[in-house]
Amino acid sequence: MLTIEYYLSVVSPWSYLGHRRFCDIAREHSAEIQYLPIDSSILFAKTGGLALKDRSSQRKSYRMQELRRWRSRLELELNLEPQFFPTDANLASCVIIGAIETGHNVTELVYELMRAVWVREEDVSEASVVTGAIERSGGSAEDLFAAASHSAVPEVIVKNSEQAVSKGVFGVPSYVVGDEVFWGQDRLEFLDVFLRDQQG
C-alpha cells in the first residue's frame, strides 16, 4: 500500500480547497494518508517563505483572485476574508494529533476544523470552536482534548514541520509520496496520475 504524507494547516485556504478531493484520490488508489499538521512559521523560516502579512500587495491581490477562481471552479463555500484569520492553529493541530493517536476519524475532523475557519468564520484557537468541530466529526471532545494535552504533542508539530523541510516541502498543502512532492491543491491531478502509474 502506498503512503501519502499530507502536510497541512487548517488555517490554509488551499488545504481546505483540496482536502475532500485529496481524500477521494487517496481512497480511489487505496493509499494510506499520513496526516502531518505543521507550523507554517517554522516552514517559512527555513525555506524562505513569507507570512501573508509580509507579502507584497501584488501577491496579496493575486491570492484573492485565485481564491475566487477556485471557489467558483470547485463550487465550495469559502469566505475570502474570514473574521478569524489569521489565527493560531496550534490547538487544532494538537487535537488532530490526538485524534490520530486515539483512532478518531481524522479525515472528517480536519475537514470540520477547516470549515470552522473558512465557512463558519469561527476562531479555531478557541476550545469551544474546536469542541464543535470534534462533535460534528462524531468524536468525543473530552477524549481528544485529553490526548491533545499530552506533553509530547507540541513536539510532534515541530517534528512534522522539520520533516516537511527535509522532504523538500515549503508550503501547504503538500502531498509527498516517496521522493515526489506535490505542492498545492492545484497539483492534485498530477498526484492522481502518479499514483495510477505506481499501481501499474
The predicted structure's pLDDT at residue 199? 85
How many domains is the chain built from? 1
Q: Cell 468524536 sits at which residue?
A: 139
pLDDT band of residue 22 (cuts 50, 70, 90) is very high
Q: Is the pLDDT of residue 84 over 80?
A: yes
Domain assignment of residue 72, given as a range = 3-198
Query: Distances from the Cα of 141 to the Cαs of 55, 113, 131, 160, 163, in angstroms?
Result: 37, 13, 5, 24, 28
d(CA 141, CA 38): 22
pLDDT band of residue 147 (cuts 50, 70, 90) is very high
Q: Is the pLDDT of residue 200 over 80?
A: no
Across all residues in the chain, what is the average pLDDT?
A: 97
Residue pair 165/47 in contact (Cβ under 8 Å)? The answer is yes
Residue pair 94/153 in contact (Cβ under 8 Å)? The answer is yes
Q: Is the pLDDT of residue 21 over 90?
A: yes
pLDDT band of residue 57 (cuts 50, 70, 90) is very high
Domain CATH number, residue 114? 3.40.30.10
The tens digit of pLDDT for each residue in 173-185 reads 999 999 999 999 9
Name 180's Cβ contacts closer than 8 Å, sequence gap at least 6: 194
In what helix (H) or strand (E) does residue 32 lie, and over which residues does it extend? strand 32-37
The tens digit of pLDDT for each residue in 89-139 reads 999 999 999 999 999 999 999 999 999 999 999 999 999 999 999 999 999
Q: Which of 76, 187, 94 is nearest to 134 (CA)?
A: 94
pLDDT band of residue 151 (cuts 50, 70, 90) is confident
The tens digit of pLDDT for each residue in 40-54 reads 999 999 999 999 999
The predicted structure's pLDDT at residue 75? 98
Given strand 3-8, what is the order of strands in its sheet?
32-37, 3-8, 174-177, 180-183
Residue pair 112/136 in contact (Cβ under 8 Å)? The answer is yes
Residue pair 192/25 in contact (Cβ under 8 Å)? The answer is yes
Residue pair 138/108 in contact (Cβ under 8 Å)? The answer is yes
pTM, two decimal places: 0.97
